[in-house]
Amino acid sequence: MRIERHPSIHFITLGCAKNEVDTNRMRALIEASELFDIEEDVTKADLVIINTCSFLTEAVNEGIELTLELAQEKAENQINCPIVMAGCIPSRYGSELIPELPEVAAFVPVDKEDTIVQVCLEVLQIEYSGNLKQPKVARTVEAACAYIKISDGCDRFCSFCAIPYIRGRYYSRSPREILDESAYLVDQGVKELVLIGQDTGIWGSDLEPPLNLAWLLREVAKIARKVNGWVRVLYLQPEGMTQDLIETIRDTPEVCKYIDIPLQHVSEEILKRMNRRGNAREFLELIQHLRAEIPNITLRTTYMVGFPGETEEDFEELVSFAEEAQFDYHALFSYSPEEGTEACELPNQVEEDIKLERLQKMTDICDSLGHASAAQHIGKTYPVLVDGLEEEEDGLTTIIGRCSFQAPDSDGVVHIEQGSAVSGETVYVTITDSACYELFGDIVQREV
Ligand code: SF4
C-alpha cells in the first residue's frame, strides 16, 4: 500500500478495566510510532482493533457478534477496513479461531499486544524498515482517573474461572514500571490512580526480594500527594487483607477508604468446590475487623449464585450473610459454565430458572442495601473529583464527579447541580439527594 496520509485506527474495548488498560497501552504504542492516526469514528477508520473479553461465554459471543456485524457493515458499504481481534478471545482460543473467523485479518493474544504496531503494518501491507519509535511510558491519558495494572494472570484456579487459562500464571509488574507509570500519569493531569490486577493482594510476593501491596500503596500515595490526588486498590481477595495493608489504607491520607473484596460465596462447602477458602463466620469477622479499624470504610463485594451443587440451604446462608454484612456495593452473577474449567464437569448443575430466581432475590436484597447506603450520604459534604460533563435525559449537561467512596465505572457518580468546575478539579459538594446509587449535590467550595 502506498500512503499519502497516515492510516487511521479505531479501537473498540470490551470487558473489564484490565482490558481498558491494555487498549490504552496499544494505543500509546500506535501513537508513539507516528505511523498511524487514531480515529474516534469507526466508519472513517482504515483498520479496527477490537480488544475482546472471554471471561464468560456471553462475553465471547458479544465479541464475535460485534466482529461479524462490523465486517458485514463494511462489506455492504464496500469499505476495505480490516479487523484485528486482540485480547482475551485470541488468548483463550488461539489458532482455533483462524478457520472460524475469516473476517478477521489478524489475531493478537494478550501476551503479543506489544507487537500491535507490526501487526497493523502487516495487515495494511505497509513496508516499514525503520526502527519503531517507542513511548517512554506506554500510556495515554483520557481522564482524571486512570487504572494501573500492577499484575496480570492468576494462580488461584477458582474452579469456575477461565482467567488463569486466558491470562496465564500470576506475575507482578515491577515496582519501577508501576511507579514510573504513576508519576507519568500524575504529570499528565491524572488525579486518581486505581491499582488493578486479578489478585492485587499478593502483589510483590513473586518478586526478588519480595515486596507487598502495603509498601506499593504507600509509594504510589507519595506520587499522588504531589497533586492532592487519590489512590484506590481493587480486587483484594480476603486472604490478602493483612494488618499492614489495613493500617496502610487507614493511615495514608491519599488512599481511598474503600475495599473491594470479591467473596463469591460464603457457604464453606460451595467455597471448597470453588477451590476457594473461608466461610461465613470468618468473612463476618473480617468485615467487623475492617469496620473497626477503618472508620467510614466503604465495602464492595461480588457474589455468585447457582454454582453447581448450591442447595437451597447454601443459598439461604448467602442471603443471611448479605443481609448481615451489609456491603455498600455489590456485583452479582449467576454461575455460567465455562468451557475448560473444572466446575463445568461438576455434578448437580443448578437449573437455569432456579439460578435466575436466586439472582433476582439477591439483586433485590443487595439493591435495597446499596440504595440505603447511598441515601446515608444526603446532607453530608465530601470532596468530589470532577470527571467531566454528562448529557442528561433532558438534553442538558451536568458536571459529574465521584466521592472517594465511589469507584469508577461501578458505584454511580455525583451529579453536580449547582456550581461550576472542570475535569480533574476536586471540589467540596454537599449531597442533596440520591436515586439508587446516583448522588446529587451542589458545590459549596471549589479547590479542596
Ligand atoms: S481469583 Fe479466582 S476468580 Fe479471580 S481471576 Fe483468579 S481464578 Fe479467577
Domain check: are 161 and 247 in the same one?
A: yes
Domain check: are 274 and 155 in the same one?
A: yes
Interval between CA 182 and ligand 1 midpoint (Å)? 25
d(CA 436, CA 367): 8
Ranges 51-55, 361-365, 414-418, most confident? 361-365
What's the CATH code of the domain at 335?
3.80.30.20
d(CA 271, CA 266): 7
**pLDDT per residue as tens digits for the range 372-420:** 999 999 999 999 999 998 887 777 889 999 999 999 999 999 999 988 8
Q: Which helix (H) or strand (E) holds 277?
A: none
d(CA 151, CA 170): 7
d(CA 142, CA 307): 38
Domain check: are 393 and 344 in the same one?
A: no
Confidence bin at 96 (pLDDT 50/70/90): confident
pLDDT at 4: 59
Domain check: are 244 and 221 in the same one?
A: yes
Which residue's CA lies nearest to atom 4 of ligand 1?
198
Interval between CA 157 and ligand 1 midpoint (Å)? 6
pLDDT at 204: 98
The domain boundary, picked from 327, 345, 375, lies at 375
Q: Are the C-beta atoms of 138 and 115 separated by less than 8 Å? A: no
**pLDDT per residue as tens digits for the range 138-181:** 888 888 999 999 999 999 999 999 999 999 999 999 999 999 99
Which residue's CA lies nearest to atom 2 of ligand 1?
158
What is the position in ligand 1's atom list of the atom closest to the CA of 237? 1
pLDDT at 448: 65
- Number of domains comprising the chain: 3
Long-range contacts of 339-343 (CB under 8 A, 24+ apart): 339/57, 339/162, 340/162, 340/165, 341/159, 341/160, 341/161, 341/162, 341/165, 342/157, 342/159, 342/160, 342/275, 343/159, 343/160, 343/273, 343/274, 343/307, 343/308
Q: How close are the terminal C-alpha atoms of the chain, in Å?
A: 54
CA 258 from chain center: how many Å? 15
Query: Cell for 119?
Result: 501487526
Please provide residue 168's backbone torsions phi and psi, each rounded to the nearest 5 degrees.
Answer: 85, -170
Q: Is residue 341 part of a domain?
A: yes
Q: Pick the closest to residue 328 from 290, 296, 298 (CA basis).
A: 298
Which residue's CA lies nearest to atom 1 of ligand 1?
156
User: Is pLDDT at 331 greater than 90 in this prediction?
Assistant: yes
What's the CATH code of the domain at 79?
3.40.50.12160
Domain check: are 104 and 179 in the same one?
A: no
What is the position in ligand 1's atom list of the atom closest to the CA of 198? 5
Domain check: are 155 and 286 in the same one?
A: yes
Residue type present at position 149: K
Ligand 1 touching residue 198 (CB < 6 A): yes
Q: Is residue 232 part of a domain?
A: yes
388 or 301, which is more confident?
301
Query: Cell for 225?
Result: 500527594
What's the CATH code of the domain at 406?
2.40.50.140
d(CA 188, CA 61): 37
Q: Pick the closest to residue 90 from 156, 157, 19 (CA basis).
A: 19
d(CA 204, CA 245): 13
User: Is pLDDT at 2 greater than 50 in this prediction?
Assistant: no
Q: Is residue 131 part of a domain?
A: no
The domain boundary, picked from 123, 158, 176, lies at 123
User: Is pLDDT at 3 greater than 80 in this prediction?
Assistant: no
Domain check: are 339 and 360 in the same one?
A: yes
What range defines the domain where residue 97 resides?
A: 8-123
By DSSP bridging, strand 381-391 and strand 8-13 are: unpaired
Task: Calculate what percentage of the chain has a pLDDT beyond 70.
Answer: 99
**pLDDT per residue as tens digits for the range 203-260:** 999 999 999 999 999 999 999 999 999 999 999 999 989 999 999 999 999 999 999 9
Interval between CA 51 and ligand 1 midpoint (Å)? 20
The domain boundary, picked from 327, 359, 375, lies at 375
CA 214 from chain center: how many Å? 20
Ligand 1 touching residue 338 (CB < 6 A): no
Domain check: are 253 and 289 in the same one?
A: yes
Domain check: are 422 and 280 in the same one?
A: no
What is the position in ligand 1's atom list of the atom closest to the CA of 199? 1
What is the position in ligand 1's atom list of the atom closest to the CA of 275? 2
Give the strands of the sheet with 47-52, arranged side by side. Answer: 37-38, 8-13, 47-52, 83-87, 104-109
Interval between CA 353 and ligand 1 midpoint (Å)? 26
pLDDT at 364: 98
Q: Is residue 104 part of a domain?
A: yes
User: Is pLDDT at 1 greater than 80 in this prediction?
Assistant: no
Query: Cell for 395?
Result: 438534553
Q: What angle do CA 184, 187, 191 make, to 5 degrees?
A: 100
Interval between CA 25 and ligand 1 midpoint (Å)? 23
Q: Is residue 129 part of a domain?
A: no
**HEC states along 190-234?**
CCEEEEECCCHHHCCCCCCCCCCHHHHHHHHHHHHHCCCCEEEEC
Domain check: are 247 and 385 in the same one?
A: no
Q: What is the mean pLDDT of residues 72-101?
A: 90
Q: Is residue 130 part of a domain?
A: no
**Three-class SS state of 52:** strand
**pLDDT per residue as tens digits for the range 120-137:** 999 999 988 888 888 888
Domain check: are 291 and 199 in the same one?
A: yes
User: Is pLDDT at 16 greater than 70 in this prediction?
Assistant: yes
Return the best residue to mutate from 19, 91, 154, 303 for the ligand 1 pocket (most ligand atoms within 8 A of CB). Answer: 154
Q: What is the dihedral of CA 204, 206, 210, 215, to 10 degrees?
A: 0
d(CA 400, CA 411): 13
Long-range contacts of 75-81 (CB under 8 A, 24+ apart): 79/43, 81/45, 81/46, 81/47, 81/48
pLDDT at 76: 86
Ligand 1 touching residue 199 (CB < 6 A): yes
Q: Is residue 140 part of a domain?
A: no
**Paired strand residues for 38:** 9
Ligand 1 touching residue 157 (CB < 6 A): yes
Q: Is residue 139 part of a domain?
A: no
Query: Cell for 375?
Result: 441515601
Domain check: are 244 and 345 in the same one?
A: yes
- Range with lowest mean pLDDT among 38-42, 182-186, 286-290, 389-393: 389-393
d(CA 196, CA 149): 5
Helices (H), 77-174: 88-93, 97-100, 116-123, 163-167
